[in-house]
Amino acid sequence: MLTFRHFIGGAPCDSVDGATLPVYEPATGAQYAIVADGSQADIDAAARAAAAAFPAWSALPAAERASHLNAVADAIERRAVEFAAAESRDTGKPVALARGMDIARAVVNCRFFAAAITQFSSESHTGPGTLNYTLREPHGVVGCITPWNLPLLLFTWKIAPALAAGNCVVAKPSELTPATASMFADACAEAGLPAGVLNVVHGQGPRAGQALVEHPGITAISFTGGTATGTRLAATAAPLLKKLSLELGGKNPNIVFADCDFERAVADSVRAAFLNQGQICLCGSRVYVERALYPRFRDAFVAGAKALTVGDPADGNDLGALTSGAHLDKVLAAIETARTEGGTVLAGGERVRPAGRCADGWFVAPTVIEGLPLDCRTNQEEIFGPVVTLAPFDTEAEAVALANGTRYGLVATVWTRDLDRAHRVSRALSAGIVWVNCWMVRDLRTPFGGVKASGVGREGGLEALRFFTEPRNICIRIAGESE
């Protein structure tokens, strides 16, 4: 049985109170590890270690912090195969996806922010009679809280800019998927990152996570997770006047016009619905198709969903297991709700029990449902699994109204060859990101985040560096010039 421990002050350690949690392998449903279950005392130790490391770390020239991040990227890359196997085992996702997406992006995240910090600059405003310039200084010790769907990808997406900007970090990964966070801590040690600069405290959200948000030594929190948790976190942080970035849930529309590149639209819509078992906040879970194309698109989409293989994540299947037993139950219950609401299940709709070692794993068949109105639970609530609804629309205005008709606003996708329509619809959509004729293409320089219930604040590129720094204005009078 593996053990994942905290990483505080440059060394692994157990919880002060000795508490642990079981960690399960989603593909088999069996426990394979234990993880330290942190409490306020562990968060406090981590915050103190981070505070002690902060003066030296923040005083380093940006180029030296960048070198450290690049060394961490190298250390991950050297063990990429091991990282991918661990991520796959911990989350249930196909090992090839873990290697090609999660681990590859974790390396790129470190390298990207290493480069970005050396290009980061601040404004100056001249005269008359004054020179104003803006200092961009690190906050001190910041907290990073991440979910289970893309564990290392999202962990590094926050930690890399925080460290690059000169902060020290206390990070709390999801208690469901602690493996690669621990391996990342090891990689930081191997790469020679000074002790205390990065600290990892494992454990449950309401315990370790809550203590992190409440800790007086933590000045800013970057959080990715569900909207309900984000709302709670905001309520905790508000009276403490902490800076907050919230990347929350989505119920993303995918609008397909009749003039689209059909093959590409179908293939990418299937990918957008089911990649990572539908457990990506960016997944397109509501597909709206112009009526003239609807029957042909539906048939091709359903055929695409049925062609996906589901099974052992180590065996080259398209879909692996959902990440927890509780989440499996939630997704199956959502499919039942869809049936109760009058939806027709065109594909999937049930649990899958692969033969062999994965028979008790948490697998769900790619599920396609049609015949549901916008205002039902299935189309309003985030399911976060391999479940997608299809519906026809008649006009551009109707498509936009359907797309915007939930409380979420993370991303949207539009398929059309009409350039004017692409611009018009993109502007009309309430979403932090609109992809036109593509899905999940990420240029890390772009702002990333949602509107409405999908979040507050932006990550990515300079936005992340802005979040992790405090701007201060210095105003100097220039004698001899009139003000």
Strand partners, 31: 24
Q: How far apart are CA 343 and CA 446, in angstroms?
A: 37
Burial class (CB within 10 angstroms; exposed 0-12, middle 13-18, buried 19+) of 1: exposed
Q: Is 82 a catalytic residue?
A: no
Whether 438 is a known active-site residue: answer no
Instruction: Sheet containing 469-477: give its strands across.
Output: 124-126, 130-138, 469-477
Report how far apart the first and last C-alpha atoms of the chain are (Å, whole number): 71
CB of 408 to ligand NAD, least distance (A): 9
Distance of CA 326 to the CA centre of its chain: 20
Ramachandran category for residue 451: left, alpha or beta (phi over 0 → left; psi -120 to 50 → alpha): beta
3-state secondary structure of 223: strand
Q: Which residues lie closer than 8 Å to 201 by C-beta, 6 or more apart?
A: 6, 8, 36, 38, 42, 43, 46, 170, 171, 172, 208, 212
What Rg do the C-alpha atoms of the chain give, in angstroms?
23
Residues near ligand NAD, by CB under 6 A: 145-149, 154, 172, 174-175, 204-206, 209-210, 213, 224-226, 229, 232-233, 247-250, 281, 382, 384, 410, 450, 455
Kindly tell me the sign of the dihedral angle through the C-alpha atoms of 15, 19, 25, 30: positive
Q: Of the candidates 429, 458, 395, 446, which has an alpha carbon nearest to the alpha carbon of residue 251?
A: 429
Query: Residue 330 corresponds to which tokens in the numbers above?
Result: 């939630």
Pick the catalytic residue: 168, 188, 281, 283? 281
Closest CB to ligand NAD among residues 265, 464: 464
Q: How far is CA 286 from the centre of its chain?
A: 19
- Closer residue to ligand NAD (CB): 175 or 370: 175
Q: Which two tokens stand for residue 10?
A: 């440059």
> Out of 87, 175, 247, 382, which one is annotated catalytic?
247
Answer positive or negative: Cα dihedral of 346, 351, 353, 357.
positive
Active site residues: 247, 281
